[in-house]
Each structure stands twice: as C-alpha cells, then as structure tokens.
C-alpha cells in the first residue's frame, strides 16, 4: 500500500510539473509576441519616417495601407471578459496565424467563471489549443485550420468551449486520449496535457468529451458558473 501511495504521489507531481511547464510556455509565448510586435512597430515607424524625409509620400501611403490591412487580418482582439482567458486565446490565435494556421472563431462571448482560478481555466483551454496547433503542424498535409467556439448556455448555467481541428483517422480510440501517457501528437513525452485537462475539468464538476465529426475532431468542455 505504501508503494502504491508513493507511485500516486509521484504521478500527481508529474502532472503538476507538466501544468507549470504549460503555463510557463504560454507566458513566454505572450512575452515573445509582445516583444516582436514592439520591434515591428519601431521598424515600421523608422521606415515610414525615412520615406517621408525622402519625400516619397505616395510610397509611404502604400506602405501604411499594407500595414493597416495586415493588422485588420491578424489583429482582431477577442474580448472574453476573463483577463487570463483573453490573453491566452489571443496569444494562441496570433501564434497560429504566424505559423500559417487559420484560427477560425465560430462564436464567442464574455466569460464570468467566478469559481475557477485564472490559472486553471488557462491550463484547460491552453492545453487544448496547444494540442490542436501541434497536431496540425505535424500533419501539414491536412487543412491548416483550427476552429474555436465559446458560448454561454442559460439552461446549463455555464459555458461550452469547443476546439476543433482536422484529424486523420488511424484506428485510435479517442476516449483513450485522456489516459496519462497517451498523446494525439507525434512527439514523445507529450501525453500529460489531456490528462491534466480532464482532471481539472472534473475538479470543477465540469464535463469534457471528444468526438469525431467528419474529417475533424472536437474537444468539448462544459464549465458551470
């Protein structure tokens, strides 16, 4: 019994460590993104200033128009009410776009989940988005897109999150994805994310399911207020 207790203790520590690494990765990604955008803004300002000094007004106008068009495409900011969730989803959305993945927002709303800590909601949704992005990148023959869906349901008195991506059928049992050590991704040592998500969702009395829908796979999370 003591041996089993020690194994369970180490297993829990492994999950906690994986969760911390995931949160740290999300934070680093946000910092890198903000730093990169800062450098981009400085470069654009310097370029336009040089054009104006050289009296290349029309060229400067075209340059600024190109920047504006680009920011309209990638810069749509999702305001989700929850600061941690807002920062996370927008960071993942921008990173996906930079990697050539189309991040399609089907529906979204403002979230008010008072009973869930900010870091836990970030871990739940962050792991699912990271899982989808990495799967797409390692299966580049599939359509490079991700679908994000968030809605409030009054009858449920809570929220439904859906993250969908193209999926290649290979005989796997999708219910096994939540088993520790099993991963949907090609790289080894990545099988903790979905197990962590399931544990966190159940900790808050929520529900999580995964199902195939045509050529796509969807992870659906239900969290109550």
CA 33/CA 35 separation, integer angstroms: 5
CA 198/CA 207 separation, integer angstroms: 8
Give the containing element (helix H, strand E) for 187. Answer: none
Has residue 34 got a pLDDT over 70?
A: no
CATH of the domain at 124: 3.30.565.10
Long-range contacts of 134-137 (CB under 8 A, 24+ apart): 134/185, 134/187, 134/190, 135/165, 135/167, 135/184, 135/185, 136/101, 136/165, 136/166, 137/99, 137/101
Q: Which residue has the higher pLDDT, 14 or 191?
A: 14
List beta partners, residue 103: 146
Of 29-43, 117-131, 190-204, which one has max mean pLDDT?
117-131
Tell me: the pLDDT tens digits for 45-104? 778 788 778 788 888 778 777 766 655 444 577 889 888 888 889 889 988 988 899 999
Has residue 31 got a pLDDT over 80?
A: no
List beta partners, residue 222: 160, 207
Is the model's pTM score more than 0.75? no
Token couple for 4 = 């089993």
Confidence of residue 4 (pLDDT cuts 50, 70, 90): low
Judging by DSSP bridges, how do beta strands 158-166 and 145-153 pair with one another?
A: antiparallel
Counted domains in the chain: 1
CA 102/CA 92 separation, integer angstroms: 11
What pLDDT, on a 0 to 100 scale, did the predictor assign at position 29?
Answer: 65
Token couple for 133 = 């992005």
List beta partners, residue 148: 105, 163
For the beta carbon of residue 216, count every other beta carbon within 10 angstroms: 16
Tell me: the pLDDT tens digits for 168-191? 988 777 777 877 555 555 443 344
Q: How far apart are the first and last CA of the chain?
A: 38
- Whether residue 74 contacts residue 110, with contact meaning beta carbons closer than 8 Å, is answered with no
What pLDDT, on a 0 to 100 scale, did the predictor assign at position 110?
Answer: 92
Tell me: the pLDDT tens digits for 128-163? 999 999 999 999 999 999 999 999 988 878 999 999
Domain ranges, residue 112: 2-224
Q: How far is CA 172 from CA 15, 167, 183, 212, 220, in A?
A: 23, 11, 11, 11, 18
């Amino acid at each position: 019994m003591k041996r089993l207790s020690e194994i369970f203790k180490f297993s829990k520590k492994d999950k906690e460590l994986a969760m911390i690494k995931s949160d740290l990765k999300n934070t680093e990604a946000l910092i890198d993104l903000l730093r990169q955008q800062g450098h981009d803004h400085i470069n654009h300002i310097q370029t336009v200033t040089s054009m104006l000094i050289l009296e290349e007004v029309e060229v400067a106008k075209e340059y600024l128009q190109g920047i504006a068009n680009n920011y309209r495409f990638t810069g749509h900011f999702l305001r989700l009410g929850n600061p941690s969730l807002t920062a996370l989803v927008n960071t993942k959305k921008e990173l996906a776009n930079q990697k050539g993945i189309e991040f399609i927002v089907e529906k979204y709303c403002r979230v008010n989940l008072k009973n869930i800590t900010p870091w836990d909601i970030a871990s739940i949704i962050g792991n699912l988005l990271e899982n989808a992005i990495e799967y797409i990148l390692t299966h580049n023959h599939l359509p490079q897109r991700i679908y994000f869906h968030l809605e409030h349901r009054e009858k449920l008195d809570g929220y439904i999150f859906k993250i969908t991506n193209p999926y290649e059928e290979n005989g796997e049992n999708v219910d096994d994805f939540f088993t520790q050590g099993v991963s949907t991704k090609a790289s080894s040592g990545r099988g903790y994310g979905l197990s962590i998500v399931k544990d966190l969702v159940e900790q808050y009395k929520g529900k999580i399911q995964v199902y195939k829908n045509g050529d796509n796979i969807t992870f659906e999370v239900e969290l109550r207020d």
